[in-house]
């Protein structure tokens, strides 16, 4: 019987994680749920991980979205990205290379982050950038309670996982952005008729051109701190009420 080594088991876990990534976009998960799934797959794919986080970044440091596989990871990345602006995920994204530590409490690379996380009982970290050919999408960060957990083997497996993870996360973000844009366009199309009606009412009252009537409507929107479509609806409703009142007059 062929003996299954720990390395063989690690590779099997990695392959399972990559296969799971390939199937994510076939479903209908929203971006937060998809990131949570990637975090869970990461935790299983990288040996020794007690928890993992996936972070979408803008300009390498600004968090666009974050998902964690465990509450302690969410607390750590809150410290990293929100409280301190310092930590392994930020370093990995900025440098476009993996970073790791086996003793966060005494880690000089992150003099504020490391001791704070060490006091939480978390001592090892491996952070990997999510890279596309032309950009940094974000970072994957895995944590372990024990010291010196992540070695060269774990880093190698992490990099193999990070490449398809970057593509999956980016594609999900593009899809989400497209859905948001489509919803905005649909709202704009649905509000156009009432805006046109309001412009017509203003023109009838003032004799202004369509352009001037639209500028007046915009001014009302800004002055009332309301959306243009909402102000247009008020103008139309007021005109309808006036017409109904006139019709009721004997």
What whole-number distance in Å separates Cα of residue 181 and Cα of residue 160? 33
What whole-number distance in Å separates Cα of residue 223 and Cα of residue 75? 42
On the question of pLDDT at 1 being above 50, the answer is: no
Secondary structure (3-state) at 132: strand
Higher pLDDT, 148 or 215: 148
On the question of pLDDT at 88 being above 90, the answer is: yes
pLDDT of residue 174: 73
On the question of pLDDT at 216 being above 80, the answer is: yes
pLDDT of residue 245: 75
Task: Give 38-80 pLDDT, tens digit per residue.
Answer: 899 898 889 999 999 999 887 656 777 789 999 999 999 999 9
What whole-number distance in Å separates Cα of residue 147 and Cα of residue 94? 25
* Pick from 234, 236, 229: nearest CA to 192: 229
Q: What is the DSSP letter of 159?
A: H
On the question of pLDDT at 218 being above 50, the answer is: yes
Give me 58's structure tokens. 């803008």
H or E stretch including 58? Answer: strand 51-58
Per-residue burial over 199-230, b if 16 or more Cβ lie within 10 Å, else e, is: bebbbeeeeeeeeebbebbeebbeeeeeebbe
Query: What is the rounded average pLDDT for all residues in the chain?
Result: 83
Average pLDDT score over residue span 113-138: 94
What whole-number distance in Å separates Cα of residue 119 and Cα of residue 112? 11
Which residues share a beta bridge with 135? 132
Are 49 and 142 in contact by the 8 Å Cβ rule? The answer is yes
């Amino acid at each position: 019987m062929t003996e299954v080594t720990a390395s063989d088991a690690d590779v099997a876990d990695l392959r399972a994680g990559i296969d799971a990534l390939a199937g994510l976009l076939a479903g209908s998960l929203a971006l937060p749920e998809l990131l949570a799934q990637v975090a869970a797959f990461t935790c299983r794919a990288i040996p020794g991980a007690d928890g993992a986080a996936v972070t979408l970044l803008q300009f390498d440091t600004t968090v666009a979205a974050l998902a964690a596989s465990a509450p302690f990871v969410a607390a750590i990345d809150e410290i990293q990205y929100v409280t301190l602006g310092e930590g392994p995920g930020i370093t990995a994204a900025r440098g476009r290379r993996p970073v790791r530590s086996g003793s966060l409490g005494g880690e000089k690379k992150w003099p504020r982050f490391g001791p704070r996380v060490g006091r939480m009982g978390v001592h090892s970290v491996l952070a990997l950038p999510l890279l596309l050919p032309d950009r940094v999408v974000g970072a994957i960060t895995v944590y372990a309670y024990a010291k010196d957990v992540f070695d060269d083997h774990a880093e190698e497996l992490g990099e193999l996982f990070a490449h398809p993870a970057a593509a999956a996360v980016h594609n999900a973000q593009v899809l989400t952005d497209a859905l948001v844009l489509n919803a905005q366009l649909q709202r704009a199309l649905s509000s156009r008729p009432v805006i046109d009606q309001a412009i017509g009412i203003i023109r009838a009252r003032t004799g202004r051109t369509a352009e001037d009537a639209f500028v007046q409507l915009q001014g009302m929107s800004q002055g009332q701190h309301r959306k243009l479509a909402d102000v247009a609806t008020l103008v139309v409703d007021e005109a309808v009420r006036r017409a109904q009142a006139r019709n009721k007059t004997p």
